[in-house]
Amino acid sequence: QQNYRKMWEALDLDLDAHDGLLEVLGKFYGDIYLSQQGRLAGAEYLDFVLSEIHGLRIQELREAQAAGRKVIGSFCVFVPEEITMAADAIQVGLCAGAEAGTEQAEQVIPRNTCALIKSFVGFKMAKLCPFTESCDLVVGETTCDGKKKAYEAFNELTPTYVMEVPQTKSKAALELWKTEIRRYLAEVEKLTGNTVTAEKLKQGIKTVNARRRVLQRLNKLRAASPAPISGRDALLINQISFYDDPERFTAKINELCDELETRIAEKQGVADEDTPRLLLSGCPMAVPNWKLPYVTESAGAVIVGEESCIGTRNFRDLVDESGTTLDEMIDALAERYMQIDCACFTPNTERLDNVTALAKDLNADGVIHYSLLFCQPYSHESMKVDKALQNEGIPMLSIETDYSMEDVEQLKTRIEAFVETL
Ligand code: BJ8
């Protein structure tokens, strides 16, 4: 702790406010995670990573920086980590899952902005996040209007590079995206002083694919009944995948999956076999946003999947590994990323097929659609997702909320009522 304080000081964090944040986080974690019964032995890794969230991992990043490497932060699964890695930089997904610095944030972005955006601007302005403060560059993207405009304000606080994510899936859009990947590649080369070679990019693709594969493995195992892992723990695994070292993460989660396989063979679960199984679908849940999974699992259901960017949207598709030249690999990257079914695209009908297929694959009894308040793209799509699920006879509950705890009781009542109908 003493060493960490020096490190936090060097990062110019607001130490008192940061102490307060760690205290709340620790309490939350205890209530939501450590209180669970029958957790996996492999959850020790999750507890350790979380307990060291602002400690050991930050220290690793600082050491890497001292050795000349760069750290790049992102807020979206469109930022191609393969390229970042190929330039020997480290990419971290920045937390945007807690209410912090809201008042400060509202000085530079409108009040009717979603909680995720307010959170990342607030964390920065309140000097609370050692990840954000460790970044040599932050990479934004033109997805929703809220984020796109928030990056203009963010750039005034810290260097922010913006990738132009297309809004449609046309051929021209794919070509634009290829150009954007090349532009990003040049930017990271400039930042790091390293050249992205075909060999390095191939390695980056393999490392990120391996992480996707282990998350796919976990996802498949969750189809078992009784559910072998809680939705809370599975969400945490997905959240950690954005900032822990990729190779360590992949190895640890593979071990955890081995343990899950044994559990499944022994018909052991975290809930009884007749517990209603729910799929969460919609906006990403960034660390430490555990509110909805906690409320849902306290309302007598178990969560068996997350159709979101901190979930299947991040690992469903792999990059084709057969390319040998830089050009071929960039094409393969562009094609893979353009399969992401984010609600910011129009039209985005593939998401409707993907949600229904996932609900069936995971033997879900129902779906909770989660939109953050003021999130236009996902709120619009909740209606379409509802219709698509209805056609397949799968019930859905639509929830709109933010990060405050004020509506927890109300949410619980609604979810309990929904669960009773299943
Ligand atoms: S690829 S989902 S991570 S953009 S909740 S900020 S959409 S108003 S997060 Fe996303 Fe990339 Fe798409 Fe995924 Fe805007 Fe909505 Fe807020 Fe959102």
Q: What is the pLDDT of residues 113-122, one digit of tens each?
A: 999 999 999 9
Mutate to test the pocket of ligand 1, among 342, 345, 373, 382 (most ligand atoms within 8 A of CB): 342
pLDDT tens, position by position, 164-220: 999 999 999 999 999 999 999 999 999 999 999 999 999 999 999 999 999 999 999
Instruction: Using the mean position of ligand 1's atoms as its centre, give its distance from the Cα of residue 283 in Å.
Output: 6
This complex has an ipTM of 0.95
pLDDT tens, position by position, 122-133: 999 999 999 999
Q: Which residues line ligand 1 (CB under 6 A)?
A: 76-78, 114, 116-117, 143-144, 146-147, 283-284, 309, 340, 342, 344, 372, 375, 377-378
Contact 15, 9 (CB under 8 A): yes
Instruction: Using the mean position of ligand 1's atoms as its centre, give its distance from the Cα of residue 272 in Å.
Output: 34
Instruction: Using the mean position of ligand 1's atoms as its centre, give its distance from the Cα of residue 374 in Å.
Output: 11
Please, which pLDDT band fits residue 37 given cuts at 50, 70 and 90?
Answer: confident
Q: For residues 396-400, give the mean pLDDT.
A: 98
Q: Whole-prediction pTM value?
A: 0.97
